Chains A and B, each alone.
Chain A
Amino acid sequence: DQQVKQNSPSLSVQEGRISILNCDYTNSMFDYFLWYKKYPAEGPTFLISISSIKDKNEDGRFTVFLNKSAKHLSLHIVPSQPGDSAVYFCAASIKGGSTLGRLYFGRGTQLTVWP
């Protein structure tokens, strides 16, 4: 029962263009969302996050948009660079209670940025 879904297993984008990675979730209790980036043979590294009280968060080339009514978030990378090629995981969490600290992950999207 996947509560966080990344329906696109892969995305290929030309260098300099925008990359848009999508994520959907089913649990309306989620109130904090994160994106992680993972290179082969390494652990996931935190990229950017957004609280449910916001609809946008920006950090340099990376922007995350949250649409709570649609239970959808997206990560925009502008401009895309070859070093951005990695697997991107969307994750969600619920503050408090027995789920304290638990992150629910999507299965990831492989982004390839070609020159």
Chain B
Amino acid sequence: DTAVSQTPKYLVTQMGNDKSIKCEQNLGHDTMYWYKQDSKKFLKIMFSYNNKELIINETVPNRFSPKSPDKAHLNLHINSLELGDSAVYFCASSQGLPKQFFGPGTRLTVL
């Protein structure tokens, strides 16, 4: 029933590791997004995909790589994790309108 789901909800890992966060939406939307909420609580867009095509790529380190196997999935892979990557990552989706539906978030802690 969950419209936008993310796994895992919590992720604790060591510096230098590689990790992935998965996102799936069952709303039939064409566009999916990744946002990062940092320690100052700002929600900032990282990437946006429309029908598996990258349309927004913010100034994000290239250690972050989104992958969209189909329009219902947008995964986020992070290489060589750093302390500063600790944050909550939100996936979202939309269909044609500015209104976006968000997942529950993944809290990433890098030790």
Asked if B45 is an interface residue, CB under 8 A from chain A, the answer is: yes
Q: A42-B105, A43-B4 are in contact. Are A103 and B100 (CB under 8 A)?
A: yes
Secondary structure class of chain A's binding surface, majority of residues:
mixed
Q: A100-B55, A105-B44 are in contact. Are A43 and B98 (CB under 8 A)?
A: no
Q: A41-B104, A46-B99, A93-B98 are in contact. Are A101 and B55 (CB under 8 A)?
A: yes
Contact of A105 among B43, B50, B101, B105 (CB under 8 A): B43
Q: Which residue of B lies closest to A89 (CB)?
A: B43
Q: Which residue of B lies closest to A94 (CB)?
A: B98
Q: Contact: A103 with B98, CB < 8 Å?
A: yes
Q: Min CB distance, B74 to chain A, in Å?
A: 13
Q: Which residues of A contact B50 (CB under 8 A)?
A: 100-101
Q: Contact: B104 with A43, CB < 8 Å?
A: yes
Contact of B43 among A44, A93, A99, A100 (CB under 8 A): A44
Q: Contact: A107 with B98, CB < 8 Å?
A: no
CA distance A100 to B92 in the complex (A): 14
CA distance A43 to B104 in the complex (A): 4
Q: Contact: B42 with A107, CB < 8 Å?
A: yes
Residues facing B in A87-104 (CB within 8 A) are 87, 89, 93, 95, 98-103
Q: Contact: A101 with B43, CB < 8 Å?
A: no
Q: Which residue of A lies closest to B30 (CB)?
A: A101
CA distance A80 to B55 in the complex (A): 40
Q: Which residues of B contact A46 (CB under 8 A)?
A: 99-101
Q: Which residue of A lies closest to B43 (CB)?
A: A105
What are the interface flags for B30-45 relative to A under an 8 Å C-beta threshold, 1 for contact and 0 otherwise?
Answer: 0101000000111111
Q: Min CB distance, B106 to chain A, in Å?
A: 10
Q: Contact: A102 with B105, CB < 8 Å?
A: no
Q: Min CB distance, A8 to chain B, in Å?
A: 13
Binding site for A on B (CB under 8 A): 4, 31, 33, 40-45, 48, 50, 55-56, 90, 92, 94, 98-105
- Can you identify 6 A-B contacts, CB atoms within 8 angstroms? A43-B104, A45-B102, A100-B55, A101-B31, A102-B56, A107-B40
